[in-house]
Amino acid sequence: MKQSFFKTVLAGGVAAIAVNLGGPAFAQQRNFDVPKQDASKAIAEFARQAGLQIIAPSDQLRGVTTPAIKGSYDARAALRSLLAGTDLEIVSDNGGVIILRKTTLPQSAEVAEEPLEVETITVIGSQIKGAQTTGALPVSVIGREAIQATGAVSGNDLFRTLPQAGDVTFNEQWLGGNSPNAARGDVSTVSLRGLGQGNTLVLLNGRRMVAHPTSQADNSIPVFGYNINAVPVAGLERVEILRDGAAALYGSDAVAGVVNNVLRSDFQGLTLASQYGGAEGTSLREFQFDLFAGRAFAEGRGNVTLFAGFTERSKLRVGEQDYTARMDRRALVDGTSFAGVTNFDTRGAHSPWAGLQTPASFGAITRNGVALTNTSGQFHIQPTTSAGCLAALSGGVCIDDGVVTGTADRDLRYDANGADGDITQTPSVQRYNLFGTLTYDLTDDVKFFSELGYYTANTNALIGANSVLSVPITVSAANYYNPFGAITSPNRLSGLTLPAAGVPVTLVNYALDDVGSRAVEVENQQYRVLAGFNGKQFGWDWESAALYSAAKVTDTSDGISNTLFQRALARSTPDAYNPFSGGDPANPSLGDTSPSSDVSSFVVKNTRKNKTTLALWDFKVSRPDLLNLPAGGLGVALGVELRRETYKDDRDARQDGTITFTDSITGRFFGSDLMQASPSLDVRGHRSVSSAYAELSAPLVSPEMNIPLIRAAELQLAGRYEDYSDVGSVAKPKVALSWDVIQGVRLRTSWSQGFKAPNLETLNTEKLQRSYAGNDYLLCEADLRARRITSFATCARNVTVVSVISGNKNLKPEKSESFSYGAVLKSFFLPVEYGEFTFTVDRWKIDQSGIVGILSDQNALILDYMQRLSGSSNAAVTRAPVTASDEAIFAGTGITPVGQIASVNSQFQNLLPRSVGGVDLELSYRSPSTAWGRFNISVNAAHLLRFYQAPSDIEQSLLDAQKAGQISANLPISGTANLVADNGRPEWKVSANLSWSLGGWSAGAFTQYVDAVNNTGVLDPQSNVWEVDSTLTTNLYSQYRWSQGEAETELRLGVRNIGDKDPPLAATGYLGGLYQPMARYWYASLRKTF
């Protein structure tokens, strides 16, 4: 099977493009006037006049003077004249980007066989010319070759390979916990340093992207991110990652750093590319087709470039891989100290085996003297083969008294994955990207430039059956199948101590498996329009642009109307909905084998529409030589920016309060008519932001000054002021210093302050109500004292916690302080024939304060547990009145009985600090050209040393009580202490890239290591935490490139996860924030350039 699949991939990839088109070569005839001057200035000016992007190592430009160029020339002929008489050469020219370096190779290697990925400066388009990856700031640059080596098809694939990126909780695998309240679809974000996606700013071609319009809960806080799947990976020229706080340069959100996606532009010619691939042993297949086209016009004064991309991927189903096929994974830990630990059993407490309750006023319902319910009227349906049957119903099921418990009735839990293996692990996707750029020289000093981008993606998924989760629903006494119904009903049990009219029964715990899994369709759209001008006047480079971008999401899914469902329950005829039939008696966890006849009457479509917009205008000027200092020119950049951001969340009418649910029997009101969806009001918000920044780059020492042990030194100062219409104003500075001890040895450091404005949802939400699964720890204590369990680790007092959170217009921006220091070592002291290498090491630290948050529901319940043991209670936790069954649970334990948890109430607020720190290591080596080819090696490692979430006063009191032995050591007090190696925060993440080329042949390998982490909250009886193993995965590719006239063809075969490694086991199967559920993945691609 695997061999045939590989053949299919190969054939599909080769056959994907079977065209042989020709294209003209485009000359660039320009007027040039570049005076004789220092090479760094001359090349910058030449690039501006030529409309080209030129990249060169800054160290190799020092001390080089270029001749004057004046007149009308072809751009590349003029560049060769500019370089004449210097030791600079062109080593790469792909039509849009030209790379230069000093002539250091033997004559036989004057032209590089591959575009080089060197530590470079971009001498055109930066705020101050001269920024480089080995300068004062830690910057990583991922070039096209490195991107291709990862085999990435989407932004999600690509950024998971970056060691400095934290866990990606905001991704396409997250289907909202079967709820329409969370972001889902073709979405993925970046979280540098693991600080959360809201702390990483994402740019496209140097300017902000619009935020994705649907939030995701991070520790119960709605956060927004930038959808990197909207960035066409195939269209990237490079990705620049600033691994340092950058709010002083870029504004809000740049707390952990900045990711700048640079798309290819100024392209000339035509390129067609196609790729086909898939994962072994699954039905997941991907097809991708991309087109690049560009040409110059108006005698080289203008250029238009177009990228068009299409990606189609099929679904990955839960039944296709062992670790997702079943939700009860306890068998996978047999033989360990975690055997029997219920965390590995994630089957749902809501199942086809209904948990029900008769009116409490009737007390225990008896039949012929035998109680069928407890004194509170609670009973449940179970197979007749289970212990405790009190009254048989039809179909091999019976009634047992009381609620479904986590111990005796554990097999009645619902395994949605086992019941329907077609449930989606990752959705099917159809993605379209269009992006165009236009540049035109209006005069020799003024250029017009523009961008036009459009992205759309449609995903389709299946999620598990609906549950009666948010609100109980009452079954009429007239229901045809009600065993406690009217005496005229054929299904009423005989011998009941009930009135002739029967009694209604309330559904408290139930999953409608017979309705089937639910379809979810999400349409994402994003468009971007930018226009601007740049030029040079009086020695100043200036640029101004206006940007408008919008993102829309339409999320449509199958749902159930509470009102319509209750009507189906009220029928007195055989077409009534029957919640008393249970599931499959032979396989209790695997669904309902006796479905009701009519379910379509209460199935509805629910739709959520979200939109965000970004309108931006900026103006900036820069000059590399405002003043002539002894060590060189004083560079300066100044800029202003105005932007307006809007957010709209338009919920379905059945969820936003327009259509509500009132129980027709009990009169109980609920603000949402959508089953398993808490009431969520529509939210709208907007803000305006005015900002200004200044940046200085001052050379303190130059090589020509001949100062011992200070070959060069440069100081960077920057500051930014932003004024928000809703949260006030902030001003933040940045200082960076680089010191070249000798040639090839550089020390660097930076310090900055940053900020992150509260998002529009936390400010403008009137009331946010959510339901979460939790534990009632007071009941666990009662079970422990009554010896129903032996330790907290085996407690199964799972409850549905209704969390009610209010927005807060008084929130202030979160503040941060960043500090880093490091060193850069380059191989200038080695002979050229040994090649070139660069090594960088950076120690970094980020301290945050005023982080927007709430006391977690889990900690609120632990606080309630602790206080009730001492005779008080947590006022934020509301409980229902105590029933007789509640009293029975606490009997003989010495604990005052309490009722069931009703809700936990809180408000967003600025909380206490967080401190994060670590070390980044990068090593790159480029061999000389040899008879055996050229080799490139790069290693990138991130070592997380500290991730300390400081506890609040309340959390500290819980920790103190736990330390003193007043509450159980097994209680998972979240969000405190050093969280390194917990869940999505591995101590080490390492990636390495090896490539080889010789003539038209090339090959490469990409490998990634992720360190082990603790699966917090998963404890054995000795309080040991489950460790999620470390992993090492490897991708390989081989490629051949050949030319036919002016056309060039490239064929690549590759494999991702060559070892076919499954993600390491976690309680939920695997950690989706760290790993993708991807088996060995083969692909073939074909590219043709004309």
Residue 1014 within any structural domain of the chain:
yes
Percentage above 90 pLDDT, the chain? 40
How many domains, the chain? 3
The confidence score (pLDDT) of residue 608 equals 93
Over residues 70-88, the mean pLDDT reads: 75
Q: What is the pLDDT of residue 91?
A: 64
Final residue in a domain of this structure, among 122, 156, 176? 122
Position 691: which residue type?
S
pLDDT band of 1085, cuts 50, 70, 90: very high
Q: Does the pLDDT value for residue 762 go beyond 70?
A: yes
| 981 found inside a domain | yes
Evaluate if residue 184 carries a pLDDT over 60.
yes
Read off the DSSP letter of residue 1030: P
Quote the CA–CA distance of 474 and 360 in Å, as a whole number. 13
CA neighbor of 391 nearest in space, from 513, 310, 491: 491
718 three-class SS: strand
The pLDDT of residue 48 is above 80: no
CA 1012 vs CA 169, 344, 984: distances in Å = 18, 18, 10
**pLDDT for res 5:** 39
- The single-letter DSSP state of residue 123 is -
Q: Quick count: other Cβ atoms within 10 Å of Cβ 22? A: 10
- Give pLDDT, residue 313: 93
* Residue 423 CB-half CA count within 13 A: 26
Q: Residue 1050: inside a domain, yes or no?
A: yes
Q: Per-residue pLDDT tens for 907-951?
A: 888 887 889 999 999 998 888 878 888 888 989 999 999 998 888
Tokens representing 727? 């949260």
pLDDT band at 107 (very low <50, low <70, confident <90, very high): very low
Answer yes or no: is 382 within a domain: no
- State pTM to two decimals: 0.81
**Phi-psi group of 363: left, alpha or beta (phi > 0 → left; psi -120 to 50 → alpha; rest → beta):** left
Does 869 share its domain with 970? no
Do 678 and 820 fall into the same domain?
A: yes
Lowest pLDDT segment from 523-532, 700-709, 785-794: 785-794
Amino acid sitting at position 66: T
**Span 384-396, pLDDT tens digits:** 999 999 999 999 9
The confidence score (pLDDT) of residue 507 equals 93
Residues 1030 and 927 grouped into a single domain: yes
Which secondary structure element, helix H or strand E, spans residue 742, and what is its range? strand 728-742
Q: Greater confidence, 89 or 430?
A: 430
Reply yes or no on whether the pLDDT at 117 is more than 50: no
* Per-residue pLDDT tens over the stretch 1040-1061: 988 887 788 999 999 999 999 9
Q: Which residue has the higher pLDDT, 965 or 566?
A: 566
For residue 461, what are the CA distances in angstroms to 174, 316, 599, 679? 11, 9, 21, 24
What are the backbone angles phi and psi of residue 132, rounded to the nearest 5°? -145, 160
- Band the pLDDT of 188: cuts 50, 70, 90: confident
Residues 900 and 958 in one domain: no
- Report the alpha-carbon angle 541-542-546, nearest 5: 150
| Torsion on CA atoms 622, 624, 626, 627, rounded to nearest 10 | 160
Q: In this model, does residue 832 exceed pLDDT 60? A: yes
Instruction: Assess whether 662 and 793 both reside in one domain.
Output: no
952/1071 same-domain check: yes
Task: Check whether residue 956 and residue 1070 sit in a common domain.
Answer: yes
Same structural domain for residues 752 and 791? no
Higher pLDDT, 906 or 127: 906
436 close to 451: Cβ distance less than 8 angstroms: yes
At residue 97, the pLDDT reads 64
780 within some domain: yes
Pick the more confident residue, 343 or 6.
343
Q: Which residue has the higher pLDDT, 585 or 796?
A: 585
Residue 279 contacts residue 321 (beta carbons within 8 Å): no
Q: Based on the fold, state whether residues 800 and 933 are members of the same structural domain.
A: no
Q: Per residue in 916-928, is it b (16+ CB within 10 Å) or e — as a string? A: bbbebbbbbbbbb
Greater pLDDT, 387 or 131: 387
pLDDT in tens, 729-749: 999 999 999 999 998 899 999
834 vs 448, higher pLDDT: 448
Look at residues 1081, 1074, 1030, 1078 and name the one whose alpha carbon lies nearest to residue 171. 1074
- In this prediction, residue 586 carries a pLDDT of 92
Looking at 64, 93, 122, the residue that finishes a domain is: 122
- 783, containing H or E segment: helix 777-785
668/624 Cα distance (integer angstroms) = 71
- Which of 69, 25, 65 is closest to 47 using CA atoms? 69
**pLDDT bracket for residue 310 (50, 70, 90):** very high
- CATH code, domain carrying 626: 2.40.170.20
Whether residues 736 and 783 share a domain: the answer is: no
Mean pLDDT of the 962-975 span: 80
Scanning the structure block, which residue is given the tokens 């008080």?
A: 872
Residue 67 lies in a domain: yes
Mean pLDDT over 559-571 rounds to: 94
Q: What is the pLDDT of residue 21?
A: 28
CATH number at residue 100: 3.55.50.30
Residue 707 has pLDDT above 90, yes or no: yes
pLDDT at 896: 92
Q: Which of 483, 693, 485, 523 minimizes the C-alpha distance to 607? A: 523
Rounded mean pLDDT of 821-846?
86
Read off the pLDDT band of 406 (50, 70, 90): low
The separation between CA 1017 and the C-alpha centre of its own chain, rounded to angstroms, equals 23
User: For residue 239, is it within any domain?
Assistant: yes
Residue 818 and residue 754 in contact, taking contact as beta carbons nearer than 8 Å: yes
Report the pLDDT value the prediction gives residue 105, as an integer from 0 to 100.
Answer: 35
Residue 884 above 50 pLDDT? yes
Name the more confident of 256 and 353: 353
> H helices then E strands: how many in the chain?
14, 58
Is residue 1078 predicted with pLDDT exceeding 90?
no
User: Where among 872, 907, 942 does a domain terminate?
Assistant: 907
pLDDT for the residue 132:
40
Q: Which range among 182-186, 698-702, 1062-1066 shows the weakest confidence by mean pLDDT?
A: 182-186
Domain assignment of residue 261, given as a range = 139-319+426-462+521-557+607-767+807-854+910-1089
Does 315 lie in the same domain as 168? Answer: yes
Is position 11 within any domain? Answer: no
pLDDT tens across 254-292, in order?
888 888 888 888 888 899 999 999 999 999 999 999 999
Q: Are residues 816 and 754 in the same domain?
A: yes
Contact 675, 468 (CB under 8 A): yes
